[in-house]
Amino acid sequence: MGYRGLKAIVAAMERNWTLEKVNLFANNSLDESEAAGRTDDLADYNRLMSMVKADFSTSQEELMVLAWGSGCGLSHLESKLKIIIGRNILYKRQVKKEAVDLLRYSRLMLHKPVEAPLSFGSLPIELQLSVLSHTAPFLSTSQRIRIFEYAVNKSTLPNLRLHLPVRKPSLDPTPSPKSGKKIGSLGPRNTNISGGVQRKMKIDEWLESVGCDSYDPEPVN
């Protein structure tokens, strides 16, 4: 593909916040002579690095580790490519964390308690949402709105019964005649998947459903 083709692809990648691995080695012309005098590649690299450092306490080495396996074979372009990949991974992690935290705070603060005349819920809803938005600065406005809508929807609240203490099973292993299950059982479980893995899978599904599985930059007017 050559330098010009690779440069165009890497430039386009800068506007993509979902890519986490890109291998362009097969398209390398193995000729860096054309790229040798391109100072704009280094300028782009420095600009991207400054942007990432403004939001995260990270180093070039840490970003290179995150982007392990990605590259294009041309040194200046490859450095920029890896910064983009590392950037995407860092922002994606932060967005996921803030989305889960914002859901937790929103459910706690936006559901009005029975008796609390001077509570957070007595503030105008616009002010409530503005305060909550400051807890998730990496989320876009649309992402926050989707989380707020999910949080106030009572049908999305977890089933309380699933969190109640399980009764100790009877010493008699005979199944209960009414339920056909041993006493204390909440139903069949998938023994092949641990609870932690199941929880992570559910969180990932929720993040995808509300569009918070990657960074969503605000549009520039």
The residue type at 51 = M
Where residue 187 falls (left for φ over 0; alpha for ψ -120 to 50; beta otherwise) is: left
Contacts 24+ apart (CB under 8 A), 46-50: 48/14, 48/80, 48/83, 48/84, 48/87, 49/83
User: What is the pLDDT of the chain when averaged over all its residues?
Assistant: 81
Residue-level length of the chain: 221
Give the integer Cα–Cα distance in Å for 52 and 58.
8
The residue type at 143 = Q
The position carrying tokens 């992690």 is 93
Give the end-to-end CA distance of the chain in Å, rounded to a whole number. 35
The residue type at 210 = V
Give the integer Cα–Cα distance in Å for 194 and 70.
32
Q: What is the pLDDT of residues 172-213, one digit of tens each?
A: 555 544 444 443 334 445 556 677 888 899 999 999 999 999
Q: What is the pLDDT of residues 124-179, one digit of tens each?
A: 899 999 999 999 999 999 999 999 999 999 888 776 554 555 555 555 555 544 44
Both tokens assigned to 3: 């330098």
DSSP state of 213: S
The widest CA-to-CA distance across the chain, in whole angstroms, is 82
Q: What is the pLDDT of residues 104-124, one digit of tens each?
A: 999 988 876 656 555 777 888
pTM, two decimals, is 0.76
Give the integer Cα–Cα distance in Å for 211 and 29.
38
